[in-house]
Amino acid sequence: MKKLTAVVLMFSVFYVCTIVSAAELDADFYYQMGDTHYSDGEFDKAIEAYSRAISLRPYLYRAYYNRGLAYYKKGKYDEAIADFTVAESKYPQNAELFSNRGLAYLKKGEYNKAIEDYTKVISLSPGVVEAYHNRGVAYAQAGEYDEAIEDYNKALAMKPDFVNAYVSRGVAFAKKAMADFRKACEAGNKVACDNLKQISQ
């Protein structure tokens, strides 16, 4: 009887392991399918495949990350942020993850959160020029022009031919000037009012 029980137990363990292995294989299959669809620009199909992989293996963090990328491409920024945040628990030192989530926050207009993510990127990978530029954009959108200009200067010091940083810095200078002229104009300075009108045009 003991031998029979042992055999049954061994078979049960083997059966369970076989099921787990099959689920693991299926999860990998759907994950790879998701990668293929993503590469082909079929983001809806990629999201569906990654979701199937996650349903089979809920802790497949790279599937959350890649599904987040697909959601971002679809303009579904809340879903992208949610997936990036799940992936963060597994990859807390992944600068690219924070960079992509920062972009999603920028798109949503959540500038302070974008600044936090780009600051994290810079702490993890100080040589990523785009992180300074993108944080500068977030600062500028939040009305913090001095901080934005400082970040654009850092980006240009690292990459002098970074054209977008010149454009962004020029816009930040103009907006800062407008803010200053507006204050002076409201105080009754006609020259400031004229300059404000000219810049606005």
Question: Residue 15's pLDDT is what?
Answer: 41
Question: Residue 21's pLDDT is what?
Answer: 60
- Residue pLDDT, tens place only, 147-163: 999 999 999 999 999 99
Q: Which residue has the higher pLDDT, 8 or 55?
A: 55
Q: What residue spans define the domains of the chain?
A: 10-92, 110-201
**Domain 10-92, CATH:** 1.25.40.10
Which residue is it, tokens 């974008």? Answer: 114
Q: Which helix (H) or strand (E) holds 150?
A: helix 145-158
Instruction: In whole angstroms, give the CA distance from residue 60 to residue 120.
Output: 24
What residues have CB less than 8 Å from 64, skipping those under 6 apart? 50, 54, 83, 84, 86, 87
Express the helix, strand and coil content of the chain in percent, nearest 5 each.
85, 0, 15
Which residue is it, tokens 């002098």? Answer: 160
Mean pLDDT of the chain: 89
Instruction: In whole angstroms, give the CA distance from residue 155 to residue 161.
Output: 10
Buried b (16+ CB within 10 A) or exposed e, 46-58: bbbbbbbbbebbe
Least confident of 3-12, 53-62, 88-97: 3-12
Tokens of 2: 């003991």
From 63, 53, 123, 116, select the one nearest 95 (Cα to Cα).
Answer: 123
Question: Residue 22's pLDDT is what?
Answer: 63
- Residue pLDDT, tens place only, 94-148: 999 999 999 999 999 999 999 999 999 999 999 999 999 999 999 999 999 999 9
Give DSSP secondary structure letters for 47-105: HHHHHHHHHH-TT-HHHHHHHHHHHHHTT-HHHHHHHHHHHHTT-TT-HHHHHHHHHHH
CA–CA distances in Å: residue 199 to residues 139, 166, 182: 21, 18, 11
Report the first-to-last Cα separation within the chain, whole angstroms.
94
pTM of whole model > 0.85? no
Whether 110-201 and 10-92 are alike in CATH topology: the answer is: yes
Question: Residue 127's pLDDT is what?
Answer: 94
- Residue pLDDT, tens place only, 57-70: 999 999 999 999 99
Amino acid at 122: I
Instruction: In whole angstroms, give the CA distance from residue 107 to residue 21.
Output: 40
The answer regarding whether domain 110-201 maps to CATH 1.25.40.10 reads: yes
